[in-house]
Amino acid sequence: MFEIYLSYFRCMKIINGTLFTLLIFAQFQVWAQKPEIKRIDPEYWWHNLETRDLQLCVYGINVGLYETKLKTTEVKIKSIQKLSNPNYLIVNLDLQQYHGNSVIIDFVFEDKSKTITYKLETLYKLPHSIEPSDFVYLVFPDRFSNGDIKNDALKTLQEKTCDRSNLGGRHGGDIQGIINHLDYLLDLGVTALWLNPTLINDQPAYSYHGYALTDNYASDPRLGSNQLYKKLGDELHKRSMKLIMDLVPNHIGSKHWMMLDLPENDFVNQWPEFTRTNYRATTQFDPHASAYDKKRMVDGWFDLHMPDVNQRNPWVATYLMQSYLWWINYAGIDGFRIDTYSYNDYDFMDKCMTYIQNEYPNFYSTGEIWEQGGVLNMAYFTEKNTYTKSPQSHLSSAKDFQLYWSILDALKNKPEWDKGLAKIYFTLTHDGLYHDANLNLTFLDNHDVNRFYTEIKEDFNKWKIGMGLLLTLRGIPSIYYGTELLLSNPLPKTNDGEIRQDFPGGWPTDTINKFNEIGRTAKENEAFHFIKKLVNLRKNEEAISHGKLMQFTPEGNTYVFFRYNASSCFMIAVNRGEEAADLDTRRMQERLTGYTKGIDHVNNETLSSLGRVKLEPNTIRIIELLK
């Protein structure tokens, strides 16, 4: 028997090419379709977490018509929220002291009940902390290795093809391919693996990059299943390695399942017409910034196919935060790299990381804050920074673009008072703005910029200087896949796919396999072993990984700094000149006192005296000081 209900009519409106569902209330008598539950997010939860609140997002046809009751008396319903779209129902639970393995929920309609047994599991695994002794390796999953050719192209998804000749298309790399080569990474010295996003991007085109997710709880099937991603975390932990997840809170894909059936008009930030962000993170702390510029930075869309999520909507904020904690618990995530961090709502990100740290106080996070504007531009967003006007933050660190640009400047330009090597010096003088600059994620290239070897015009000596600096300076060093093999790209690049090339040997049909030493050139093997050697040095020497840093002002073509602790000291010296330099160390006696000789770990040379140190042209020396 049908009853007459208040119903909702929907009409579609296109704003600058973006499709929106407008929800219109109408006092109109229609025959309502009976409710049907299609999904509940999160799919399950854990009963032994510190956090006792749990929000369930119930989705399906007219689920908003349900009344909700609990049969599990030890759990309470805090509130029920019915959204503008009747296909959504938000149920907020208080788990209190309940530690059972399920919650029994009745969804009642027309005096008939649909009973759901919501599963609660026991959590055993805990994340490991990411720290300065780690060496992080960034992999673009679609371009590293194809371990399962059966998932290359799926007809059930919108982008149905896999074509390695298409720079912007799917190439077939996947999680199984990464698992197949974990021992290669272990041999290099990698201790933490960071993957570009692996959640499903069911977009019509250009879906391979992963930054336009269409479901917060599902891996992209072309990369593998949730279970396979969890297996990756397990396999890493078996090898005492860690897993860093690439988190994208700011935006979603235009084909996200919630965009296709909009919960509410304010689910995403809307404008009268399509409005792109101004990409100006500085508006967040600029005392002269206009309100319009601040709003456009945070609420503007990153791109046409990337709607900007409204993180000020309370249920949306909780939905996002719970999904992040779910992945930590499910897959054993050890840290987050947070995409476009400065584009997010500041208060939401602080609330989000507080929520995570309430469960895991030492959980590591690093934010992508990519903008020329000085060290303050990054430090402002990090926890316990010393800028007095900065609001509270629980972001562990910043992805260190400022140091990246400084090292490039040092290698591409001749030393001057404020250029070249001086750029590194000046950048490090601002480390006091951070609570702990040693937690910054440092790098020389990544998936968005030219490959490092390209930037220095394939100069191997400069490559060694850059890698030597990366692996001895403060911070947590990371490299982009293939950097250890001198991978390069066309300059100027015309497509991001050129810097996201396939790893040679990662596909069954590849004729050259650079995962094996025999498949690499002599120079590539030299590069591989150079990194391996310095990574192991950093890993074994706390003076380099966790020690203090003292730098001396650059002089001429040279720059010197020390990494030291109470028991050991390393001197790192760079010569960017075209002629050899005879380094007079008298001004460095405060660090040399008590030491009489040293070992250069770059070329295994023993120094019998530290009074004067010879530096060959365009070289770096990493000298362990001995008494």
DSSP 92: E
Q: Which residues contact 361 (CB under 8 A, 6 or more apart)?
A: none
Q: Residues 181, 183, 189, 190: is their CA dihedral positive or negative?
A: positive
CB 561 within 8 A of CB 552: yes
CA nearest 506: which of 207, 142, 135, 208?
A: 142
Q: Which residues contact 512 (CB under 8 A, 6 or more apart)?
A: 504, 505, 519
CA nearest 172: which of 145, 207, 138, 136?
A: 145
Within 308-420, where are the H helices?
314-331, 346-359, 376-379, 401-412
CB 251 within 8 A of CB 347: no
Hey, what are 304's tokens? 């046409």
Neighbours of 188 (CB within 10 A): 17
Q: 3-class DSSP state for residue 99?
A: coil
Q: Which of 202, 334, 339, 400 is catalytic?
A: 339
* Omega of the bond leading into 504 within 30 degrees of 0 (cis): no
Q: Which of 246, 308, 345, 368 is catalytic?
A: 368
Buried-state track 523-537, b at ≥16 Cβ within 10 A, e below 16: ebeebbebbbbbbeb
CA nearest 218: which of 204, 203, 201, 199?
A: 199
368 an active-site residue?
yes
Rg, Å, the chain Cα set: 27
CB 253 within 8 A of CB 309: no
Residues classed as catalytic: 339, 368
